[in-house]
Amino acid sequence: MNWIVYAGVAILLLGAEVLYLRLATHYHIVDSPNHRSSHTQLTVRGGGIIFWLAAFLAFVVTNFVSPVFFVGLTLVALVSFLDDISSIPNRIRLLIQLISLGLLLEQTGLWSELSWWMVPGLILACGVLNAYNFMDGINGMTAFYSLVTVASVLIINQFIIPFTEPTLVVFSLIGVVIFAFFNARQQALCFAGDVGSVSMAFIVIFLLINLMRESGQLTYLLLLTVYGIDSVMTILYRLWRGENIFQPHKLHLFQLLVHQLQWPHLRVAGLYALTQFLINGYVIWLTRWDAQRQFWGSLALLAVLTLAYVLITNRLLKPRRKPDHGRETSQVFRRLT
């Protein structure tokens, strides 16, 4: 596919994003800051809708390849967008997500292959979908992380193991770059919203399943390591504290870095993306080895990252010792006398 097509897609997605920002502002589809927010001003919600649009354009350009996948993507994007506009009960969103992921697995051919493993497979895929959504909490996070993830998949597809027609990957990458222009700022013009983060997660899951099926290597799951470690460890920590994991919170590591250390959003998002970028290089190198070395190499990576997460989180959550003003006063008095 030539560069003229890519340029045309970029212009179309850019125009669509600008139009959406105006419509969302007019119809008040915005995020209002509250005690759980990491932002301080009204910001348009749902700017990640262009991820679905990028997939739609890829669907049309490729003569409607993978129709079952696209139906699933459209269903999950629609319910997520409606949730961005007006909150939808969790059970309805979860039901639609499971149906959509079932369609995705059918498109990839795993539905018949998994047999009784289908239920654990759906649960795992649903977990990845929602983890990607939960991590969309600060400016640049979804933009930078998705840029690294999709770009890595494109590199693997082009130079290591061709596993899919590249149009969906390239169009999604263009959509991420355009979204980053509006989101990766000190004061974001828009957030991805559920429609953006869930749609991107759905696309990434589809690509990774195809990659793992073609290569026969589960090691490629590590392309989502950073999100996975933060999400899983945060859930375990909240369970240990006896909290309801379905209630909103501010205990993700990226939230602690922002609120405890007062780090800028883009610094934290960049750190997450850079970490995943380095991991992806390690993963690509690791897949050149046999299955046993891949297993131990993957286990070592997860162990190191888990330990790092625990040490950093414990330090950030450690209660700060309040100064003993009475003791300080008595010491001053003794010095004076």
CA dist list (Å): 33 to 37, 38, 234: 6, 8, 23
Measured in whole angstroms, the distance separating CA 211 from the mean position of its chain's CA atoms is 18
Structure tokens at 55: 């997939």
User: Distance between CA 310 and CA 317 in Å, rounded?
Assistant: 10
| Residue partners of 244: CB distance under 8 A and separation at least 6 | none
Residue 209 falls in which region: left (phi positive, over 0), alpha (psi -120 to 50) or beta? alpha
Measured in whole angstroms, the distance separating CA 184 from the mean position of its chain's CA atoms is 14
| Residue partners of 45: CB distance under 8 A and separation at least 6 | 24, 29, 30, 31, 84, 190, 191, 193
Residue closest to 167 by CA, chosen among 4, 6, 51: 6
- 133 in a labelled binding site: yes
Residue whose tokens read 């669509």: 16
| Residue partners of 314: CB distance under 8 A and separation at least 6 | none
Residue whose tokens read 């013009």: 189
3-state secondary structure of 175: helix
User: Distance between CA 153 and CA 253 in Å, rounded?
Assistant: 26
User: Distance between CA 104 and CA 87 in Å, rounded?
Assistant: 25
Structure tokens at 227: 């999100």
Q: Which helix (H) or strand (E) segment is 30 a member of?
A: strand 30-31
- 194 in a labelled binding site: yes
Binding residues: 133, 194
Binding residues for Mg(2+): 133, 194
